[in-house]
Amino acid sequence: MKKLLIIAFILFNLTSLTAQMAALQYTDAQNLTLIGKALPDGPSYHRLDTASFPAIPPTVKNLLTHSAGLAVSFSTNSTQIGVKWCTSPRAPGNNMTAIAYEGMDLYIKRNGQWQYAGVARPRTNECNEFMVLENMAPGDKECLLYLPLYDETLSLQIGVEPEANLIAKPNPFQKNILLYGSSIVHGASASRPGLAYPARLSRETGYNVINLGVSGNARMEPAVAEMIATMQMDAFILDCVPNSSPEQVTERTANLVKTIRAQHPEVPIIAIQSIVREGGNFNRSIAERVAAQNANFLREISQLQQTDRHLYLITAEGLLGDDHEGTTDGTHPNDLGFDRMLQKIKPAMQDILEKYSGFE
């Protein structure tokens, strides 16, 4: 009898939620403002049009279809916000939450600061609907809805009350900073999309930090370097050491920097060493590999800095703290780890960029 009552309660709540969702008026998010794309062309929720770069590796092309770092900017006076969205049928990864992998989270500006407001929790691997927020106070609210980190977003609709407005807002962030890197940049293993560290950098600095994380595949390939160099950015951040072997670091770092520099003679380029892998606390081969990666990267960047006064380096010390609690799986930062990374990267980045016009 108790089980039947529980089932009945769940069904009642699902029916009530479905009725609430159906009562909303939905707008295709393509009619609002999408921020975070590296280049404007291509499918709406891809970070760039990979067909324009046939030479980049196929795996990199696939990863760039993920909507990591993309967000919808809008305002509404609705007291409820719901979403309907579809992603590809891939299953969530085993070291991330479903919300981070193929769900969404919403931020609302309060007293000039972006504040977490709610999530869109997926129930299936493909099409979902979810009431992100309800029972809000009346009045206009400036919103940012972050899209899934590790899946391709195929469609998205945002629902508000029928009598409420839903208005496209401009990009709230200024300047364009491309952040190229590994799964750590991509967002693994933040608990939800807005906690990936490029997204946090944008909200906390006001800069438009564009997520070009390509999980497991940030290997500084020449074709990728050429692709990055075509992008008109105000700064570049290179956090790509974790995926490159020590040998690749030696072979490819100079080419990546010089390829970007050829197209952007005076734009700041900020290079970041790899975080220490907590998996190397006892596994000697992991510890030795990371040490070699960072040593080779330091050598290459130091050599380049002799002739490049706009190239900077942020070293690995302290990026995850020193208590060994900053990762989910020994490799990817958890939310605590990302917070510690920001405590070092954000002030270092700001000190560098303040030297340049428009960043003051």
Residue 14 confidence class, pLDDT cut points 50, 70, 90: very low
Q: What was the pLDDT predicted at 8?
A: 44
Same fold yes or no, 23-168 and 174-353:
no
CATH number of 174-353: 3.40.50.1110
Query: CA 258, CA 262: separation in Å to the nearest integer?
Result: 6
Please state, rounded to an integer, the average pLDDT across all residues of the chain.
Answer: 95
Report the interhelical angle of 197-205 vs 335-353 (nearest 10°).
Answer: 50
Provide CB contacts within 8 A for 54, sequence distance 6+: none
Query: CA 195, CA 122: separation in Å to the nearest integer?
Result: 17
What 3-state class would DSSP assign to 173?
Answer: coil
Q: Are 352 and 360 in contact (CB under 8 A)?
A: no
Report the interhelical angle of 246-263 vs 222-229 (nearest 10°).
Answer: 30
pTM for the predicted model, two decimal places:
0.94
- Rg of the chain, C-alpha, whole Å: 21
CATH fold, domain 23-168, is: Jelly Rolls (2.60.120)
The string of DSSP codes covering 40-92 is S-SSTTSSS-GGG-TTS-HHHHHHTTS-TT-EEEEEE--S-EEEEEEE-SPPP
What residue segments make up the domains of the chain, in order of their start? 23-168, 174-353
Burial 227-239 (b: 16+ CB within 10 A, else e): bbbebebbbbbbb
Indicate if the pLDDT at residue 127 is higher than 60: yes
At 182-220, the pLDDT tens digits run 999 999 999 999 999 999 999 999 999 999 999 999 999
Strands laid side by side in the 174-181 sheet? 207-213, 174-181, 235-239, 269-272, 311-314
* Helical ranges in the chain per DSSP H: 2-23, 58-63, 98-102, 183-186, 197-205, 222-229, 246-263, 284-305, 335-353
Q: Is 207 exposed, middle or buried (0-12, 13-18, 19+ CB in 10 A)?
A: buried
What 3-state class would DSSP assign to 330?
Answer: coil
Structure tokens at 160: 């508000």
Query: CA 186, CA 198: separation in Å to the nearest integer?
Result: 8
Indicate if the pLDDT at residue 296 is higher than 80: yes
Task: Tell me the percentage of the chain whose pLDDT exceeds 90.
Answer: 91
Indicate if the pLDDT at residue 316 is higher than 50: yes
What 3-state class would DSSP assign to 132?
Answer: strand
Task: Tell me the percentage of the chain whose pLDDT exceeds 70.
Answer: 95
Q: What was the pLDDT predicted at 360?
A: 72
Q: What was the pLDDT predicted at 22?
A: 80
